[in-house]
Every structure is written in structure tokens, then in C-alpha cells.
Amino acid sequence: MCGHAKAAHIGSSLSVIDILAVLYSGAANINPNMVDYPDRDIVIVSKGHAAAATYAVLGHAGYFPLEWLDEYCSDGGSLGGHVTKGRVPGVELSTGSLGHGLPFATGIAIARSRQGKPGRIFVVMSDGECDEGSNWEAALLAGHHRLGNLTVLIDRNGVQSLADTEQTVRLEPLAEKWTAFGWSVHDVDGHNHAEIRAALKRAKNEAQPTVLICRTVKGKGVSFMEDQILWHYRPPSESELIAALSELGGAT
Amino acid sequence: MRDAFVSELLLAARQDPKIMLVVGDLGYGVVDGFADELPGQFLNAGVAEQSMVGVAAGMASSGYRVFVYSIANFPTLRALEQIRNDVCYHGLDVTIVSVGAGVSYGTLGYTHHAVEDIAIMRALPNMRVLSPADPMEAKAAVHDVLGAPGPAYVRLGKNGEPTLHEQIPVSLASVQYLRRGPDGVLVGVGAVVGECMVAADILRSRGINITVISCPTIAPMDSSWLDEWHSSPLIVTVEEDRLPGGFGSAVMEEVSQKSSDVAILRLGLDDSKLTVIGSGSYLREIHGLNGPSIAESVWRVLGS
């Protein structure tokens, strides 16, 4: 996708893809037949630059024909370079500008709670996105209202746009920040499906909002991309694509 | 105007449990009655406007008809991208209500003057922009936005504006004629329309009979009224905000689409006086937007 589309953010997509795979393969109560079901679980991908990962997961989960992936970022296609609602089944909110997902999800969580409706609300955020003040505004509100139906999953790959998160605007101690805002915090290996799934199950019984700090590796699975800021932006060349796919065990 | 709007909203909310009022920790003495009577339909999102609008959009996506209430630029410019992306792009049923249109907050100063809001809000896709001229139009605005779900912005004055209509207008989609006269047109938005009525009285005493129109729906603008006035000697637009992109600009955009050579005079705030301190009425005078000043501006063109 990123290769032929010459699209960026492949590193950000590889770090978050296991989190998305877990959510869309049963951890969240959603499937392609219930995209308009009112009491469905809601997944909001707030790190909208992880569009390639989101669309790959949605495609493999059956939300749209896999051929769509070949038209990623093509003229007149359905799949653009940021997660966009409108033409893509399964997408709940257009994102790409960071810091929008959590306030929106908090609104849904409050609505469900006021309406006495079931359903969990999941927000997938990047760690660099924690710089956005709007998230902390919403985190304060969600903590105040003890929104147990709200769960945030942070893709803690440690690398943001220009440098490491800790060199940019220090986030640590990140868990303590969320705790102080009234959230229950779980630390998980963001590439271990069983661990993510178990933490999500535990979070279901919380009486307050929950955050999973998912430790991940930017560019996970491709040795020359891992932990490299370069791959926040760069699309792979043809030879790099072949090397990457060979490492990941995929077909060319 | 704000009390008229909120009391009418409360009447509607009693009948429709989907109506939700979200405030940004403002509205003391205005929203309390609503909050006390319908606590399940009220949310104070705190002093956090970006989150407030995102939350409102999320609630609207879950079936609520959300009214966001705050003052001045806080629920608009402070949360502009949330309005643009979360509300407008997704076409959600969120109405942003801001009290303190123009310079009505007077001595509170420029931070509290909503004077670019018309230009900015009307530039957003799917956004309806309403600026009622009096308490009756403010009440009508509640029904207008409820009648057509989707993004809307309602800019309100404070309280104490003169009542210009005897009854609540049935709809604000079209312009409201408040007075008819053949010599020219004063068309305004918001509370400053009351000043236009004062100006019309002054001009009548000097032999000029002028039409006064309130145009409460700025976007999408029903421009059919312009057809009647394409050969008018003068159309004067009056708004209590800065001119670039504002109401007068919107009228000129409509005129440019019609084969009309009518002269347009735009009256609005004078950028060189944005730092002047004073009450709302004092600032209107300073900016040439009180009744006598408007009359004088018209007289300069038509008086000879």
C-alpha cells in the first residue's frame, strides 16, 4: 500500500497494527454486518495518520473488498492518507488532526451512559498525540464522570515526528499522569495479542475510564525501519519494499 | 435575547428528551433553570472548549440534538477545528450558541468581542449561521435549527435589546421586513438592526423613507430579496463585526451573481478603534454603528 501509493507513516502503522488487529478481530463487539447497529462498540482511530494500518485491518476483517487496498491514496479512490469517514465502512470518525478522537469518544461514552445503553468506546491514540491539550481536557471530564465504558489504547512507540517523545516534550511518567486524571492504567506489550486482549477484558469491569499504555516499536517487524524516525514519513522504494515484505513473511 | 433563546429551548427540551444543552462553565443565571429542571439533558463540560465541542459532536453522533452554549469567541474560535472537522465535516446535529455578538460585552474588551465570527463560521461547510435581531427572532432561531438537523451557529446579543417583532417569526430562512420605503435599503444582522430602525426614524424626519430588513440567516443566505432592490439607489449593510468576510461581504457575493449594479455601502467595525474601552452603546457610537451614525452615513450618500 505505502509502496505503490508513495504514502508516509508506514512506521506509525506498523507500531499500531497489532492493537488494531486485536480490536477488530473480536475484542471490540463489532463486525461488518453491524456498522450501523446502534449499540455496537465504537473504535475511533485518533492517530489518523495510521490510515494504512487501519485500512489493512478493516479490509482483512471484511469491511470492504481487499482490492480497495490496491487503490490506497489513488485518484478518485475510497481510501485516503488519513482515516476518513464517508466512503469507508467501519470508520467512525475522520481523523488526522491529532487530539480529536478522545473528546469525541468521551461524548459518545457520556451519551451511552445517559441513555443507559451498552457498548464500549475504544480510542486508539499515538503517544506523540498526548502533547495535545484537548486530550487532557477530555481525560479530565471522562475521569470526573467515571466513564467505565471508555478505553484508550496508546501506541507507545516512543518516537514522534522529529525526535523521541522524551526529547521532544517529556511524557513520562505517563501512567501517573493518567492515574492522576482518574483513569485506571494498564501497561501492556502492544505487539502481544493475548496480552492486549486480556487487558481489554480486565478494563471492561472497571468503574472508571481505562488506558492501556501499549509498548510498541515504531516500524515493528522490519529491521531497517524499527525505531527510525525516518520511517515516520518515508514510503519504501521498490527494493526496500521487497526487503520489508520478505522480513514480514508476506508475498510481494 | 439570551434569556429568550434559553427559555424557548427549555420549552422544546421538555418535549424532546434528545435535546442536550452542553455549556462551557458559563451562563450563570441563564442556564440554571434548564439545569435544575432537566439535569439529564444538561452537561457542564468545564472550561475546556475544544473538548466541549468534541464531546458535543460525539453526543450528536449518538442521537442527541446538542446545543453548545458559551460566550464570545470561546465556543467558536477556541474550538474552531473541532467545529470544522468533528461537527461540520460529519454533518452532525450540533448548534453552537454564543452570547455576546459584536461588541455587546462592551467594557470586557476585545477578547470578549465576537467580531470575526460571521466571516469564520460562514466559511465552514454545512454550517448554518443565524444572527437574530431581537428576542422574537432569538426564539424563532430555536425552532429554525430544530426544524433542520445539522451544524448551526447562533450568535446572540446579551439582554435588553428592543423587540422589533410583535410575534415570533414563523421562519428565519428568509429576510424579515421591518419597514418599507422606496428610497433605499438598510439591511442588518443581529441587535444592530435595532439601531437601523432608529436611523430610519431619523431619516424619515429628513424626508428619506428607507426600508429596514433583518437578515437573520446569513448562511445559507436566501438572496431572493435582492431581486426587488436591484434598481434601488442604495443598499446599506450593517453589522456589528469586522467587515472582511462578514455579512456585507456575503451580500456582495450574492449581488455579484445577479445582473445588478446597485450600490452597496458596508457598515461595520472600524479596525483602528478595536482597542477603545467602553460600553456596548458607547462602542457602537465610536464605530459609527448607532442610529444617528447610521443615519448620517446614509444621508451622506442619499441626502443631496
Between B207 and A234, the more confident residue is: B207
pLDDT of residue B261: 83
| pTM given for the model | 0.96
Q: Region B152-171: what's the mean pLDDT?
A: 95
On chain B, the residues whose CB falls within 8 A of the CB of A122 are none
Which domains can be identified in chain B, with CATH numbers?
2-156 (3.40.50.970), 176-302 (3.40.50.920)
A106 CB within 8 Å of a chain B CB: yes
- Looking at the domain A2-30+37-248, which fold is it? Rossmann fold (3.40.50)
Domain boundaries, chain A: 2-30+37-248
On chain A, the residues whose CB falls within 8 A of the CB of B23 are none
pLDDT of residue A8: 75
Kindly indicate the confidence band of residue A252, based on its pLDDT and cuts at 50, 70 and 90.
very low
pLDDT of residue B144: 98
Kindly indicate the confidence band of residue B158, based on its pLDDT and cuts at 50, 70 and 90.
confident
pLDDT of residue A250: 64
Q: Region A67-71: what's the mean pLDDT?
A: 94
- Grid cell for residue B35: 439545569
| Phi, psi dihedrals of residue B117, rounded to the nearest 5° | -65, -35
pLDDT digits (tens, 9 = 90+) for B226-280: 999 988 889 999 999 999 999 999 999 999 998 788 999 999 999 999 999 999 9
- pLDDT higher than threshold 60 for residue B302: yes
Mean pLDDT score of chain A: 95
Q: Region B273-293: what's the mean pLDDT?
A: 97
Q: Which of A164, A183, A145 is nearest to A232 (CA)?
A: A164
User: Across the interface, which of B48, B64, B86 has its CB nearest the CB of A141?
Assistant: B48
Contact B90 A141 (CB under 8 A): no
- pLDDT higher than threshold 60 for residue A251: no
B176-179 vs B211-214, strand pairing mode:
antiparallel
pLDDT of residue A4: 73
On chain B, the residues whose CB falls within 8 A of the CB of A91 are none
pLDDT digits (tens, 9 = 90+) for B103-140: 999 999 999 999 999 999 999 999 999 999 999 999 99
B60 CB within 8 Å of a chain A CB: yes
pLDDT of residue A3: 73
Q: How far is A120 from chain B (nearest CA, A)?
A: 13
